[in-house]
C-alpha cells in the first residue's frame, strides 16, 4: 500500500496560527519592562513597605520586642490620654506656624533677588548655605548661642538690651519659639532657591507689558508673578509642613533634649523616648502610625490641589 498524503490544513487554521504569533511576541515584549522594574519594586517593598507593616502590627502590642503581648487598640486609647503626648502634638502644631513665616520670607527674598539686585547669585548662595548644613551641627551651634549666658544674651547685655536677654532654651515659654526660629533659619534657603528658580523660568514679556501699562513693581509681582508660581508655593508649603511634623527630632534632641521637663517634646521625640529610652515598642509604634497618617493627609491634600488645578 502507498503512503497516505496528509491533508492540507484548513486555511482558517493557518491564518489563526499566524495571527497568534505576533500576539505572543507582543505579550513577551510587554513583559520585559516589568522584569527590569521588578528588582527595584522588591527593594522598595523590603525597605519601605515591610517596616510600615511591622510598625502598624506592633502598634497593637505592648511590651518589648522579645516579649510582645497583644492589647488591641489599648495603645491608641492610652496615648491620646497621655498629657505628654498631647503636649507633644500641641508643640508640633505650634511649630507649623513657622511654615507661613518661612514661606513669606522666602518668597519676599526671591522676589527681591528676581528684581535684579546686584550680586543676587552670591546672596542666593549665602541664604542657601544653612540648608545644606547638618541639622545636628546647626543644633549644637544654636545651643551655645541661645543659652542663658550664651553669645546672644551676652551681646544683648553688652549693648544695653539686657531686658531682652531671655532664657531661650531653659524657659518653657520661649523654648518652642526658639526651636521654630532655628528651623526657619535653616529651611529658608530651600524656599528662596526654588522660588527664585521658578521666577527665572517665567517669561518676562508679560511683566514688562504690565509695567509699560502703568502697573507698579509691587502690582506686577502680586498680580502677575506670584499667581504664576502658585503650584511651587503650594508644593513648598506642604513639603515644609511635613518637615515640621516629622523631621525636627535632631533640633529638639540636640537643643533641649525635650526639656525643660517635657516643654519642647514633639511627636518624633516622644516616639524615640518610648521606643528606645523606655523600651515601649507598642507605644512608639502607635505614635509613629499617627504621624504617618498625618503626613499622608497632607500629601493627599496636596494631590487634591494639583488635580483641581489640572481640571482648571
Model pLDDT for residues 8-36, shown as the tens digit of each residue:
545 555 455 555 555 555 555 577 778 88
How much of the chain exceeds pLDDT 90, in percent? Answer: 37
Q: How many CA atoms lie within 13 A of 174 on its CB side?
A: 11
* Contact predicate 250/265, CB 8 Å: no
Which residue is it, cell 502634638?
89
- Mean pLDDT, to the nearest integer, of 87-96? 94
**pLDDT score, position 86:** 94
Q: Which residue has the higher pLDDT, 137 or 204?
A: 137
Phi, psi values for residue 70, rounded to 5°? -70, 125
Q: Which residue has the higher pLDDT, 214 or 2?
A: 214
- Look at residues 142, 37, 24 and name the one whose alpha carbon lies nearest to residue 153: 142
Q: Which residue has the higher pLDDT, 129 or 16?
A: 129
Q: What is the pTM for the complete model shown?
A: 0.82
Q: CA-to-CA distance for 175 and 52, rounded, in angstroms? A: 32
How much of the chain exceeds pLDDT 70, in percent? Answer: 89
**pLDDT score, position 22:** 57
Provide the sign of the torsion angle of the four alpha carbons 61, 62, 66, 67, taken in this order.
Answer: negative
Sequence-separated contacts (24+) of 219-226 with Cβ below 8 Å? 221/111, 225/111, 225/114, 225/199, 226/107, 226/111
**pLDDT score, position 149:** 86
DSSP helix/strand/coil, 61 = strand
State yes or no: pLDDT of 69 exceeds 80: yes
- Mean pLDDT, to the nearest integer, of 199-210? 80
State yes or no: pLDDT of 101 exceeds 60: yes
Q: CA-to-CA distance for 241 and 247, rounded, in angstroms? A: 10
- Mean pLDDT, to the nearest integer, of 44-71? 86
**pLDDT score, position 126:** 87
Grid coordinates in use for 307? 488635580
Amino acid at each position: 500500500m502507498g503512503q497516505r498524503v496528509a491533508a492540507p490544513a484548513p486555511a482558517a487554521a493557518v491564518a489563526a496560527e499566524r495571527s497568534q504569533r505576533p500576539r505572543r511576541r507582543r505579550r513577551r515584549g510587554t513583559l520585559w519592562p516589568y522584569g527590569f522594574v521588578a528588582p527595584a519594586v522588591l527593594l522598595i517593598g523590603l525597605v519601605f513597605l515591610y517596616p510600615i507593616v511591622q510598625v502598624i502590627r506592633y502598634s497593637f502590642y505592648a511590651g518589648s520586642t522579645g516579649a510582645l503581648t497583644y492589647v488591641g487598640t489599648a495603645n491608641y486609647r492610652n496615648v491620646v490620654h497621655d498629657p505628654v503626648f498631647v503636649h507633644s502634638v500641641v508643640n508640633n502644631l505650634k511649630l507649623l506656624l513657622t511654615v507661613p513665616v518661612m514661606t513669606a520670607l522666602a518668597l519676599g527674598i526671591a522676589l527681591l533677588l528676581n528684581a535684579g539686585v546686584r550680586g543676587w547669585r552670591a546672596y542666593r548662595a549665602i541664604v542657601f548655605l544653612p540648608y545644606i548644613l547638618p541639622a545636628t551641627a546647626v543644633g549644637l551651634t544654636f545651643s551655645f548661642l541661645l543659652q542663658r549666658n550664651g553669645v546672644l544674651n551676652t551681646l544683648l547685655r553688652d549693648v544695653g538690651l539686657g531686658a531682652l536677654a531671655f532664657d531661650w532654651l531653659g524657659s518653657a515659654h520661649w523654648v518652642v519659639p526658639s526651636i521654630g526660629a532655628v528651623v526657619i533659619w535653616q529651611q529658608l534657603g530651600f524656599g528662596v532657591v526654588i522660588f527664585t528658580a521658578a521666577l527665572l523660568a517665567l517669561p518676562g514679556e508679560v511683566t514688562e507689558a504690565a509695567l509699560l501699562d502703568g502697573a507698579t513693581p509691587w502690582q506686577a509681582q502680586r498680580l502677575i508673578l506670584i499667581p504664576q508660581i502658585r503650584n511651587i508655593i503650594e508644593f513648598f508649603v506642604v513639603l515644609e509642613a511635613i518637615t515640621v511634623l516629622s523631621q525636627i527630632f535632631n533640633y529638639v534632641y540636640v537643643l533641649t533634649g525635650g526639656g525643660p521637663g517635657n516643654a519642647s517634646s514633639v511627636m518624633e521625640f516622644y516616639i524615640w523616648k518610648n521606643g528606645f529610652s523606655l523600651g515601649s515598642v507598642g507605644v512608639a509604634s502607635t505614635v509613629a502610625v499617627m504621624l504617618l497618617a498625618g503626613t499622608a493627609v497632607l500629601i493627599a491634600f496636596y494631590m487634591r490641589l494639583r488635580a483641581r488645578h489640572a481640571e482648571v
